[in-house]
Amino acid sequence: MEPTTPRLTPDCTQCFALCCTAFGFTRSADFAIDKPPATPCPNLAGDFSCTIHRSLRARGFAGCTAFDCFGAGQAVSQRLFGGTSWREDPRSAKDMFTAFKVLRQLHEMLWQLDRAESLAYSPETAREVGQVHSLVQRIAGGSLETVLAADVGSLHESVGAVLREVSEEVRAGYFDSDPRVVHLAPSADLAGADLRGWQLSGADLRGACLIAADLRGTDLTAVDLLGADLRDARLDDADLAGALFLTQAQVAAARGSAATSLPAGIGRPGHWRAAARTPEVP
C-alpha cells in the first residue's frame, strides 16, 4: 500500500466515534463521569453521534469540546478499516482503538511540522524539518501494520527537536524588554498568574501550566506555546495570531472573546461566541 497524504482536519461524519470509545476519562472539571478506555461513552448514539452534543459544556463535558483528533478518526475508520465499524466487527475494536491513539499523535506531529516548515528561517533547519516531516508522513499514511508498529516515543523526540530549532530561530528576533520575562521558562507553573501588561513576545512557554492565567490584552507574538496547558486561561482581547505551535484544542480549552486574534487555521470556539453574547458580571 502506497502511503497517503493525511488530512489533518477532523470529519466526525466519517468516524466511528473513536474519541468517544478509545480513550478513558476520570470524573473531573472536564468530565462529569468516569469512563474506562475501550468502552463507548453512555452519551453515544447508535449512529455514532453524541446525544448531548449541543450541551456538552453545560452537562459537564468541557473536555470533549476541547478535543481534536487532527483527522485521525476518519483515517482510521475509513482508510485503515475500510469503513467497517467496531460495532459491525467487534474483533477489530482493539486494533482500531490502538491505531487511533497512535495516529492521532502522528497527525498532531504533522500539523505542527506543517507550521514549522512555514516558519523555518535557515535552509539547514528547513531541510531538517522536511526530513522529519517526510518520515512521519510516511508512517502516518502507511498500512495498519505500519501505524501499529510506529515508535511514537522516538518520533516525538525527533519532532520536538526540530520544532525547538524553529522556535529558537523565530524567537531570536525578539528581545526581552520586560525583566520579568527572563524568569519564565519552559514548563513554568503559571497557574492563575496575572500576566496582563507583560511584554511576552518571544518568550518560551513550551509545556507551561497556564491554567486560569490572566492573559487578557497580551501580545503573544512568537511565544512558544507547544504543549502549554491553557485550560480556562483568559485570552480576551489577546493577540495570538503569531503564537508558535498553538492548537485548536488549546484554544478550545481557554476563554476568549470576539476581539481575540487567532492564528490562521484556528477557529473561534463556540463557547467564546456564547460568552460574548452574555455580559460578564464584574
The residue behind cell 518560551 is: 204
Coil vs helix vs strand at 30:
coil
pLDDT at position 176 is: 64
Pairwise CA distance, residues 254 & 233, whole Å: 5
102-121 tens-digit pLDDT: 999 999 999 999 999 999 99
Pairwise CA distance, residues 205 & 228, whole Å: 7
Q: What percent of the residues of the chain are helix, what percent strand, and what percent coil, each to the nearest 5?
A: 40, 5, 55
Predicted confidence band of residue 5 (pLDDT cuts 50, 70, 90): confident
202-241 tens-digit pLDDT: 999 999 999 999 999 999 999 999 999 999 999 999 999 9
| Multiple choice CATH, 176-282, 2.40.50.100, 1.10.3720.10, 2.160.20.80, 1.10.357.10 | 2.160.20.80
128-166 tens-digit pLDDT: 999 999 999 999 999 999 999 999 999 999 999 999 999
Instruction: Pinpoint the residues of the chain covered by CATH 2.160.20.80.
Output: 176-282
Selection from 228, 223, 218 nearest residue 244 by Cα:
223
* Contact of 241 with 221, CB cutoff 8 Å: yes
35-85 tens-digit pLDDT: 999 999 999 999 999 999 999 999 999 999 999 999 999 999 999 999 999
Across 267-281, average pLDDT: 66
Terminal CA-CA length for the chain: 59
Selection from 69, 127, 126 nearest residue 100 by Cα:
69
Provide the β-strand partners of residue 189: 209
Selection from 22, 35, 15, 29 nearest residue 61 by Cα:
29
* Contact of 148 with 81, CB cutoff 8 Å: no
* Contact of 254 with 231, CB cutoff 8 Å: yes
